[in-house]
Structure 1
Amino acid sequence: MDMSQLRPAFKLNLWTVSVLLVIFGIFVSGYLSYVKLTDVPMTCAVDSGFDCASVQNSNYSEIMGIPIAWLGLGTYLVIGGLLLMQYRSKFMRQNGMLILFGIVFFAFLYSMYLVYVQGVLIEAWCQWCLMHEANMTVLFIVTILRLRAFLNDPDVVI
């Protein structure tokens, strides 16, 4: 049997990986937003160093009264929208990758700041927050790979 005939029905490319990461990010930030909105106790392993409630209720959990979880959810929704529109118009084909990179880069930097806040300023960790920050890091790496491919060949679908 020829091995080239055993192609998977679903091609996993970097665009698809990005979409899957965004879906996971929407789930995590959606849960954090739900907890913040409803004040229900957060599901979090109680262990030394982990205290989700302290992180979620700290002075650093809001910017001008807006919960960071809501900003994270909004960011993932914007990134998802850009991914879905990226190949739909000439403007987005030409500029979408750069716009996407700018937003993901800023979100990654802010996520790294939040890791610092948890570890140094609050001295407590939130597993859900760390999942978001790890997810954003992987999304940033995938976006760099996509940007590099785009800069080498703007017509490539990545």
Structure 2
Amino acid sequence: MSKTAQPTTQAGQPSGGLGAIPWATLAVSIAGLAVAAYLTYEHFTAGTTLACPDTGVVNCAKVTSSQYSKLFGIPVALLGLAFFVGMTALSVPPMWRTGSPWPARLRLAGVLVGVVFVCYLIWAELFQIDAICLWCTVVHALTLVLFALVIVRQALLPPTS
């Protein structure tokens, strides 16, 4: 019995079904989009409805109002929202099925930048702010899961010649 090769796109991706990883990537991106949208809303409404403790080590208000809550004057929550908007757009089925290598490259670049930024934010929470935001931690975890999914999917692709 001989195995027949599955047809692939120009980018070397299977042209048949997407598999579980792209769908998981889309789901994680949408979840991140929702949490980042909530944090962005809270940022612009002074965080009066933040559903998070405001005393002790877990203190969302302390984290989201610290000097580290902005980068070059741009709210970190808004940067997170932009990140997840982009990752959601790059994770819809047509972007996984395209013959162009650019969506895969942009996904990879996006998650790499996202993970570096998450490392910076975790450092700021632990060593500069001395407080942890639970909502921010959810965004950090979703970014790390998204990174893992994109990296695993990239590793599973057949090499292009």
The TM-score, its normalising length taken from structure 1, stands at 0.82
Provide the residue aligned with 1:8 in structure 2.
none
Of the candidates 120, 130, 137, which is equivalent to residue 123 of structure 1? Answer: 130
> Residue 29 of structure 1 contacts residue 73 of structure 1 at CA under 8 Å; is this kept in 2?
yes
**How far does residue 40 in structure 1 lie from its aligned partner after superposition?**
3.6
Identity %: 26
> Residue 49 of structure 1 contacts residue 123 of structure 1 at CA under 8 Å; is this kept in 2?
yes
Unaligned runs of 5+ in 1: 1-10
- The amino acid that maps onto 1:118 is E
> Residue 33 of structure 1 contacts residue 69 of structure 1 at CA under 8 Å; is this kept in 2?
yes
Q: Distance in 1 between matches of 2:84 and 2:114?
A: 9
Q: Distance in 2 between matches of 1:21 and 1:138?
A: 8
- The amino acid that maps onto 1:113 is Y
Provide the residue aligned with 2:87 in structure 1.
79
Q: Tell me how large the CA RMSD over aligned residues is.
A: 1.8
Provide the residue aligned with 1:54 in structure 2.
62
Provide the residue aligned with 1:102 in structure 2.
109
2:135 aligned with 1:136, yes or no?
no
Provide the residue aligned with 2:7 in structure 1.
none
- The amino acid that maps onto 1:77 is V
The TM-score, its normalising length taken from structure 2, stands at 0.81
Provide the residue aligned with 1:44 in structure 2.
52
Give structure 1 regions of 4+ aligned residues with deviation exceeding 4 angstroms. none
Q: Distance in 2 between matches of 1:35 and 1:22?
A: 20
Q: Give the number of aligned pairs.
A: 141
**How far does residue 49 in structure 1 lie from its aligned partner after superposition?**
0.6
- The amino acid that maps onto 1:61 is S
- Alpha-carbon distance change, 138 to 88 in structure 1, aligned in 2, over 3 angstroms: closer
Deviations along 1:62-93, one digit per CA (max 9) or x if unpaired, are 112210000100110011111224145432xx
Q: Distance in 2 between matches of 1:20 and 1:131?
A: 14
Q: Distance in 1 between matches of 2:55 and 2:137?
A: 15
SS at match of 1:44: coil
Provide the residue aligned with 2:99 in structure 1.
90
- The amino acid that maps onto 1:69 is A
Q: Distance in 2 between matches of 1:56 and 1:40?
A: 8
- Alpha-carbon distance change, 89 to 14 in structure 1, aligned in 2, over 3 angstroms: closer
Higher helix share: 1
Provide the residue aligned with 1:64 in structure 2.
72
Unaligned runs of 5+ in 2: 1-17
